[in-house]
């Protein structure tokens, strides 16, 4: 949804924009094409692999850190306000296709799943060292798996005999509970849950949304693409109410206290031709908001 995202940003040629999920640099390059020589782009990515994709452009400031540090780095570089922020959340195709990173059950690799390879916590640490209660909570909350209890017991039983170190091991341990004809979707939820825990994705997203509301100039745009209901719910509630519960509050004069307002009435989903070309985009949801 590149074009919809760019339209949502409502780019001003001389403005300052932030791409908090630089990755392969596709969105960033598209933003740069719409900026003048006075425009500026700040790109965040915690993955060291992304450094290889930085364009040779003096308008680009690359920050090799998690986007939860948005406010700190804007302050560090003396950027008071920004005109727009784009976030394309989730795991990139690069991560899924890099077997050694352990993001996908389709490849036999070490249970890693770290977006920041300098971080200490891996998916193997989670399944081998977390308590039964903690693993069950992760699978139920982040994977939305009603079988979380059964899956957790299988993991606990298996790790008592042998450490769980690879994606293939984990898939085999859980196979008895995988519904037939829905194997990929089920295992994807398991791996999603572990990945979210390893990378603290939900906490980082909450921090990003709160900081973006402060960083945007009045009229500035927030554009976020999510890939699962947990992310989308956070974005939707924050845009609607300025909090993550979605409960609208008013000040003493009866005015809404939410710092943002939705630009699109409903969520934007990919067109059929895009989902045909990119299977991953089928679950994508785009929301656009403007600073009051």
Q: How far is CA 174 from CA 56, 228, 233, 282, in A?
A: 46, 22, 28, 26
Which domain-ending residue is among 136, 170, 199? 199
| Separation CA 17–CA 59 (nearest Å) | 10
Q: Are 248 and 179 found together in one domain?
A: no
Per DSSP, the three-state class of 28 is helix
Q: Is the dihedral of CA 228, 234, 236, 239 positive or negative?
A: negative
For residue 107, give both structure tokens.
């490849």
What's the pTM?
0.93
Residue with tokens 């990919």: 270
Which residues on neighbouring strands pair with residue 17, listed in sequence order?
41, 84
| Separation CA 257–CA 247 (nearest Å) | 11
pLDDT value at position 98?
A: 75
* 3-state secondary structure labels for all residues of 63-128: ECCCHHHHHHHHHHCCCCCEEEEEEECCCCHHHHHCHHHCCCCCCCCECCCCCCCCCCCCHHHHHH
pLDDT value at position 250?
A: 82
| Displacement of CA 284 from its chain's centroid (Å) | 11
DSSP string, 112-176: ---SSTT-S--HHHHHHHS-HHHHHHHHHHHS--TTHHHHHHHHHHHHHHS---BHHHHHHHHGG
pLDDT value at position 5?
A: 97
Residues of the chain scoring pLDDT < 70: 92-97, 276, 280
What is the number of alpha carbons within 13 Å of residue 107 lying toward its C-beta? 15
Q: Are 72 and 210 found together in one domain?
A: yes
pLDDT value at position 95?
A: 67
Q: Are 20 and 159 found together in one domain?
A: no
Helix orientation angle between 229-241 and 201-215, rounded to the nearest 10 degrees: 30
Q: Give me the CATH number covering residue 192.
A: 1.10.150.170
Q: Give me the CATH number covering residue 11.
A: 3.40.50.150
pLDDT value at position 106?
A: 83
pLDDT value at position 157?
A: 98
Q: What's the domain count of the chain?
A: 2
- Tell me the pLDDT tens digit for each residue of 202-224: 999 999 999 999 999 999 999 99
Closest alpha carbon to 194 in 125, 129, 123, 103: 123
Task: Give the torsion through C-alpha atoms of 26, 30, 32, 35, to 10 deg.
Answer: -160
Which domain-ending residue is among 142, 171, 199? 199
DSSP string, 257-275: --SEEESSSS-B---HHHH
- Tell me the pLDDT tens digit for each residue of 42-95: 999 999 999 999 999 999 999 999 999 999 999 999 999 999 999 999 776 666
Q: Are 183 and 262 found together in one domain?
A: no
List the domain range (segments joined by +) for residue 150: 100-199
Closest alpha carbon to 215 in 90, 119, 79: 79
For residue 238, give both structure tokens.
């924050």
Q: Are 229 and 242 found together in one domain?
A: yes
Residue with tokens 């990139």: 92
Q: Are 167 and 217 found together in one domain?
A: no
Which domain-ending residue is among 199, 233, 255? 199
Q: Are 259 and 280 found together in one domain?
A: yes
| Separation CA 136–CA 143 (nearest Å) | 10
Q: Are 154 and 283 found together in one domain?
A: no
Q: Are 10 and 64 found together in one domain?
A: yes
- The answer to whether residues 248 and 110 touch, using CB atoms and an 8 Å cutoff, is no
Query: What's the start-to-end Cα distance of the chain, in Å?
Result: 25
Q: Are 139 and 261 found together in one domain?
A: no
Q: Are 68 and 185 found together in one domain?
A: no
Residue with tokens 């989903």: 269
């Amino acid at each position: 949804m590149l074009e919809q995202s760019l339209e949502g940003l409502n780019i001003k040629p001389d403005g300052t924009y932030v791409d908090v999920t630089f990755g392969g640099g596709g969105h960033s390059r598209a933003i740069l094409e719409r900026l003048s020589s006075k425009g500026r782009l700040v790109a965040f990515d915690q993955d060291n692999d992304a450094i290889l994709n930085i364009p040779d452009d003096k308008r680009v400031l690359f920050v090799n850190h998690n986007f939860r540090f948005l406010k700190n780095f804007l302050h560090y570089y003396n950027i008071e306000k920004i005109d727009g922020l784009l976030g394309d959340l989730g795991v990139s195709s690069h991560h899924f296709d890099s077997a050694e990173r352990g993001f996908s059950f389709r490849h036999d690799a070490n249970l890693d799943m770290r977006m920041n390879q300098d971080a200490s916590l891996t998916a193997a640490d989670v399944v081998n060292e977390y308590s039964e209660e903690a693993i069950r909570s992760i699978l139920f909350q982040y994977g939305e798996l009603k079988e979380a209890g059964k899956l957790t017991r299988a993991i606990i039983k298996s790790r008592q005999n042998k450490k769980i170190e690879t994606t293939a091991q984990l898939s085999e341990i859980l196979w008895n509970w995988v519904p037939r004809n829905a194997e990929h979707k089920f295992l994807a939820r398991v791996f999603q849950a572990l990945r979210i825990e390893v990378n603290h994705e939900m906490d980082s997203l909450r921090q990003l949304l709160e900081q973006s509301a402060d960083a945007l100039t009045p009229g500035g745009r927030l554009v976020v693409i999510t890939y699962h209901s947990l992310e989308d719910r956070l974005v939707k509630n924050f845009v609607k109410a300025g909090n993550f519960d979605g409960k609208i509050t008013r000040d003493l004069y009866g005015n809404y206290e939410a710092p943002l307002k939705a630009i699109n009435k409903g969520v934007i989903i990919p067109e059929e031709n895009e989902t045909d070309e990119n299977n991953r985009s089928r679950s994508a949801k785009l929301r656009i908001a403007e600073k009051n």
